[in-house]
Amino acid sequence: MSTSFADLLSKQQVAMHPGLNLEMELATGKTHYTQRLSDASQHTEVIAQEDIYSDRGLKLISAGSRLTPELRERLLLHKLHKPLEKTVQIGTPAVVDRLISAAEQILAERTELLPLIGWRHGSVTSIDLISQIRPNRHTLSALALIEQSAGFGLLHSALVTLIALGIGKKLNLSFNEMQQLCQAAVFHDLGQLYVNPTLFHGGKKLAPAQFRHIAVHPLVGSQIMQNVLGLPEPICRAVRESHERIDGSGYPQRLTEPHISKLGKILSFAEQISGVAAKTQGSLSRLIIAAKVIPYEHSRDVLSAFIQPLADNNAQPIQVTHSISDHLHGFFVRIANTLTVLAHLENRHGLTPEYSFILDKSKSRFDTVQKAFSSTGLDMAANNQNWLTDMENSLHGIEAQVALDELLWRLSELARDVHLRCDGLSDNQMQLFEPLIGALDGTMTHSLEVGLNQEIDLF
């Protein structure tokens, strides 16, 4: 019986974010994965480990053949009898050594994180757990492709793994749970191998419409880990939950706290805070403040396990990277535009239940951001430039600067969420939400403002 890429990933049915089209993403995922293999073949050997056949029995590639651009095109033209991931190999055991070296580099360079990541339990350390990953040709291929991928890579995987294990140690996970957490963290970005690589280039902020292509990757990665790498369900589940939030604002399933596993909660936070850590080398205070900005997204015990060991050893001043006023004006504009749009949306007549649901959810998350903003004290700066100038030079002002950066990011996240939620609406209803998406994301245009006052049939 033939097994296609889509068949492989659809064995386990899960409830997904309504704005994510799994079938559409899977249709292009094979192409992106094959392209990554082809790109990798220019630097290292990608070898067929067995004869590769189409689902109709046509032999496409002989065992031992090296993947070439010509063979890549042949693969893309056919539905395969076996998933490509099971029939080719890239990489050698040396890639595990390079993963260990990446972790050792972080331990040596990120001394401010050592109270969390530099733990030792008897003779066991985080490096020992990473070293115990048992490589087979499938895991070697996965690691080799992760290593060569722009936008993530072994250094990112190592940082997420070290942070997750540090939190797990603080929470007294069992040795078996620590091993599972380690493997989940190492492979948590596996699903991104099936996403268009151009979305990771240049460090550009993704538009909400582009984000939908990335949002499905935890589910894809989880299924590959289960059906190709053969990893246990607790590990695969943690990867599936690696972008969930306990308040239900995450993806791809929008789970809430009771439905997220212990390992998933740890990995979700470690993945999120690693992005801040990568940008704030040497500043524990920035990491701690970023973790506290919106506490409703992660469980209290995970937050405490991260913050407590770092706060106890934090004697570093926060370094100013930019003026608060650099970003504050843009934040006020986004808040004002969003409030205006929400008022227009609420005053529409003949609202459908779907429309009202999205509007209510959007307002609730927006209110959370507003409350977090008010807690910084920066709302007082709107009409008091002298107060803002004095605050910028104070410790509280520097803390507020870090919080503001995080809140700007939360507004963009909310814009993405609204865009995904609108996917099931009629074209007319989707058009009504476009100004809200633009206001939240800071990309509101005059044409969107004009659209606010248009009378649109909701049905």
Residues 97-125 have pLDDT tens digits of: 999 999 999 999 999 999 999 999 999 99
Count of C-beta atoms within a 10 Å radius of residue 385: 10
Q: How much is the pLDDT for 294? A: 77
Between residues 224 and 267, which one has the greater pLDDT? 267
Q: What is the DSSP string of 306-372?
A: HHHHHHTT--PPPPP-S-HHHHHHHHHHHHHHHHHHHHHHHT-SS--HHHHHHHHHHHHHHHHHHHH
Q: How much is the pLDDT for 3? A: 45
The model's confidence at residue 382, banded by pLDDT at 50, 70 and 90, is low
How many helices and strands in the chain, by DSSP H and E? 21, 6
> CATH says 94-311 is which class?
mainly alpha
Between residues 300 and 293, which one has the greater pLDDT? 300
The pLDDT of 146-166, averaged and rounded, is 91
Q: How much is the pLDDT for 391? A: 56
Convert the pLDDT of each residue in 355-364 to its tens digit.
Answer: 899 999 999 9
Count of C-beta atoms within a 10 Å radius of residue 301: 14
The whole-angstrom separation of Cα 58 and Cα 52 is: 9
Tell me the C-alpha to C-alpha distance, in Å, between residue 239 and each of 137, 267, 378.
20, 8, 37
Per the prediction, the chain carries an average pLDDT of 84
Whether pLDDT at 387 is above 80? no
Q: How much is the pLDDT for 137? A: 85
The model's confidence at residue 458, banded by pLDDT at 50, 70 and 90, is very low
Judged on CB neighbours under 10 Å (0-12, 13-18, 19+), 405 is buried
- Whole-structure pTM value: 0.86
Q: Which of 182, 188, 172 is nearest to 304 (CA)?
A: 172
- Going by the DSSP 8-state scheme, the letter that residue 441 receives in this structure is H
Lowest-confidence pick of 39-43, 207-211, 315-319: 315-319
Count of C-beta atoms within a 10 Å radius of residue 233: 14
Lowest-confidence pick of 271-280, 291-300, 306-315: 306-315
Convert the pLDDT of each residue in 229-242 to its tens digit.
Answer: 899 999 999 999 99
* Cβ atoms of 75 and 34 closer than 8 Å: yes
Q: What is the DSSP string of 94-141?
A: HHHHHHHHHHHHHHHH-GGGHHHHS-EETTEEHHHHHHT----HHHHH
Token reading at 419: 């865009």
Lowest-confidence pick of 129-143, 216-230, 316-330, 407-421: 316-330
The whole-angstrom separation of Cα 229 and Cα 145 is: 14
Q: What torsion do the CA atoms of 381, 382, 384, 385 make, to the nearest 10 degrees?
A: 80
List b or e across 43-66, with b for residues whose CB sees 16 or more CB atoms inside 10 angstroms: eeebbbeeebbbeeeeebbeeeee
Between residues 420 and 392, which one has the greater pLDDT? 420
Count of C-beta atoms within a 10 Å radius of residue 353: 7
Between residues 319 and 127, which one has the greater pLDDT? 127
Amino acid identity of residue 362, one-letter, is: S
The H or E element spanning position 207 is: none
Between residues 318 and 39, which one has the greater pLDDT? 39
Dihedrals phi, psi of 2, to nearest 5 degrees: -75, 150
Which SS3 state, helix, strand or coil, does residue 422 take? helix
